[in-house]
Amino acid sequence: MTQKKFLRTFRSQHISDQLFDIFNHLVLVLLTLSILYPLYFIIIASFSDPVAINNGKVLFKPVGFNTLGYQRIFENTKIWIAYGNTIFYTVFGTLINVSLTMMLAYPLSRARFFARPLIFVMVMFTMYFQGGLIPTFLWINKLGFYNTRFVMLLLPAINVFNLIIATNFIRSNIPEELYEAASIDGYSHINYFLRIVIPLSQTIIVVLILYYGVSHWNEFMNGLIYLRDEKFYPLQLVLRAILLQAQATGLGDVDSIIEQQKAAELIKYGTIIVSTLPVLAVYPFLQKHFTKFVMAGSVKG
């Protein structure tokens, strides 16, 4: 809509409608700023003087520009190994997650599948009742997955919530009649799943990639419990170790302790940026598919 058409439409509205639109726009602008400003503050704080941050002088631009926090983070060689591990866990873990989720979501979406009610009850049961940490640890150790990369890939293989939304998407957007037409042409369930269901489910697949990918990138607890060797550590564990090391005051004169606390303040903001920047860079490319998923099924006819 061009500017002239917008002004013509705005002028033709009743005064109450105009006031309502203005109020809505103001509220949305304020909400957007309230969401974006904390992230912007963390970015500028990571390049600012810690004293200026504590004194409240850092509001809209860096004060006392320095990169000490990032230097302390990236001079640690372990962080590059952790970055490689996290990328590996995210890529291959997400591939396993999406594949298994879609493979299970398809039969659960079929109303004529005879075992559907039983499998659905079993899946839902695991969503509310779990064995607990110690039985899970013993089970992982018995399988030989303790202190291996497999525990980071296979333990969170299927998320029940993601499975439910994938099942509902297939059931709502791919009609049963489509399989009947495909079966007349000689399609088996495998061919129908690979050649029809998967191409028509690109929206939900991208959403699953986003959900599972962010989950793997932020994974912390499984690595803390089931990994012993630092060569397998994900990024979040290494950043935690760097942050804890920076915050340890230790012994020394007052000046050295103050400088160490300043560095710890910068490292705190720097670790947030280092851990979230890749996800923020990827999200805009997946946003349109996420919007399609939200709107799927909302308009009929």
Answer with the residue of higher pLDDT: 32 or 287: 32
Q: Are 199 and 283 within 8 A, CB to CB? A: no
Q: What is the pLDDT of residue 253?
A: 56
- Average pLDDT for 199-212: 87
- The pLDDT-based confidence of 257 (bands split at 50, 70, 90) is low
| Whether pLDDT at 100 is above 90 | yes
Is it the case that residue 91 has pLDDT exceeding 60? yes
Domain boundaries, the chain: 10-68, 70-295
pLDDT of the residue at 189: 83
* Average pLDDT score over residue span 141-170: 89
State residue 248's pLDDT score. 60
**Quick one: average pLDDT of 271-277?**
78
Q: How far apart are CA 193 and CA 201, in angstroms?
A: 10
Arithmetic mean of pLDDT over the chain: 80
- In the CATH hierarchy, which top-level class contains the domain 70-295? mainly alpha
